């Protein structure tokens, strides 16, 4: 287990982690995660330590028998966990309008507080997958109408580590994928609230999000993503809103889950859709460049392309 969220660890780095965990067993898991991040210089492009990703990696190392972590200290919610749904009364009035009557749509980034609590409750109560606190980089949106009515919830998070169909479409080799995976963002939850019945709303939200997400992600994490992806359960959905928003179907998963590096899980196969946020996205994802190191001419091209997301061409 020497790979995690776009980073490959050398044998000497793994040995350093083993030594740190053994020498500082009195530290909490969170303190160990911060210490390991500092020692390995594991940071986001904006300089923040990747403590969440590191903790998840350390716990997987423990599962593999590489290290032995201290017991979890019960001082509050830790790591990925399900949100316990409270009773959510659907007191919201039904919305049955033409999509044009709701514009301009607002995509508000959700942080915490009362809005964040309601956003989580809606997903847990109404999305068939429920809600799990994401590990790593993520953005949450609450979509509102021009009049302020809540319409939909979206969660964007880290991409799948490896998917044969997606990786074949990009055409990158393993070192390129490990270096540039952070440039992909996964639409892991999309919920149009059940009392909202507006034809064509889903594709409008996706198109608007494609224009806005790059800027919001850069503000939060210090770099712009190049490609969006999502997984659609074909037994439940046909992917209509993604197709209508010009997302491209590139194949299916092999049924092992988004982060299954060890070929252990057995799950249903999912349809994979992608949406480029720049021109020549496959060529750019094949380049060995760290996040944030985008050439000025390419950045200008991206800016021009993001103003017209529906005009992007797919290669391959």
Q: Are 13 and 40 in contact (CB under 8 A)?
A: yes
Residue 306 pLDDT more than 80?
no
pLDDT in tens, 72-87: 865 544 444 444 444 4
Q: Considering only residues 268 and 231, tell me which one the structure prediction assigns the higher pLDDT.
A: 231
90 — pLDDT class (breaks 50, 70, 90): very low
* Average pLDDT rounded to a whole number, residues 65-71: 88
Half-sphere exposure (Cβ direction) of 5: Cα atoms closer than 13 Å = 23
Q: Tell me if residue 199 falls in helix, strand or coil.
A: coil
Q: What is the pLDDT of residue 195?
A: 94
Q: Tell me if residue 304 falls in helix, strand or coil.
A: helix
CATH number belonging to the domain at 100-311, selected among 3.40.1180.10, 3.30.2010.10, 3.40.630.30, 3.90.1150.10 = 3.40.630.30
Q: To 10 degrees, the CA torsion angle through 257, 258, 263, 266?
A: 0
pLDDT in tens, 117-150: 999 999 999 998 898 877 778 999 999 999 999 9
* Average pLDDT rounded to a whole number, residues 102-106: 93
2 — pLDDT class (breaks 50, 70, 90): low
> Which spans in 111-196 are helix H?
113-126, 164-170, 174-180
Ranges of beta strands (E only) in the chain are 3-4, 7-8, 106-109, 138-144, 150-157, 184-192, 227-232, 248-252, 271-276
Domain boundaries along the sequence of the chain = 3-63, 100-311
Q: What is the pLDDT of residue 136?
A: 75
Q: What is the pLDDT of residue 13?
A: 87
51 — pLDDT class (breaks 50, 70, 90): confident
* Average pLDDT rounded to a whole number, residues 21-37: 83
**CA-CA distance, 20 to 126, in Å (whole number)?**
43
- Bridging pattern class, strands 248-252 and 271-276: antiparallel
Q: What is the pLDDT of residue 279?
A: 93
Record the pTM.
0.69
pLDDT in tens, 237-274: 889 999 999 999 999 998 755 444 444 445 678 999 99
**CA-CA distance, 20 to 69, in Å (whole number)?**
11
Q: What is the pLDDT of residue 85?
A: 46
């Amino acid at each position: 287990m020497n790979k995690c969220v776009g980073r490959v660890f050398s044998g000497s780095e793994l040995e350093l982690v083993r030594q740190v965990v053994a020498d500082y067993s009195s530290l909490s898991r969170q303190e160990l995660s911060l210490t390991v991040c500092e020692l390995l210089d594991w940071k986001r492009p904006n300089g923040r330590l990747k403590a969440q990703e590191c903790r998840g990696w350390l716990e997987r190392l423990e599962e593999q028998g590489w290290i032995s972590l201290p017991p979890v200290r019960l001082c509050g919610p830790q790591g990925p966990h399900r949100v316990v749904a409270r009773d959510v009364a659907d007191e919201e009035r039904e919305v049955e309008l033409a999509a044009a009557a709701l514009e301009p749509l607002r995509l508000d980034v959700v942080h915490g507080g009362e809005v964040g609590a309601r956003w989580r409750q809606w997903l847990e109560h109404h999305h068939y997958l429920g809600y799990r606190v994401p590990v790593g980089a993520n953005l949450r949106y609450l979509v509102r109408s021009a009049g302020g009515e809540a319409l939909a919830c979206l969660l964007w998070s880290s991409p799948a580590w490896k998917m044969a169909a997606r990786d074949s479409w990009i055409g990158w080799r393993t070192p390129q994928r490990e270096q540039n995976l952070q440039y992909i963002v996964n639409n892991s939850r999309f919920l149009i609230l059940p009392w909202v019945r507006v034809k064509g709303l889903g594709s409008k939200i996706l198109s608007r999000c494609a224009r806005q997400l790059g800027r919001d992600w850069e503000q939060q994490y210090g770099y712009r993503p190049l490609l969006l992806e999502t997984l659609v359960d074909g037994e439940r959905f046909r992917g209509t809103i993604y197709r209508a928003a010009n997302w491209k179907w590139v194949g299916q998963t092999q049924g092992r889950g988004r982060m299954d590096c060890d070929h252990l899980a057995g799950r249903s196969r999912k349809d994979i859709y992608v949406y480029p946020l720049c021109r020549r996205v496959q060529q750019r994802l094949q380049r060995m460049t760290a996040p944030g190191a985008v050439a000025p001419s390419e950045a200008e091209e991206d800016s021009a392309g993001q103003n017209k997301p529906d005009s992007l061409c797919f290669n391959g």
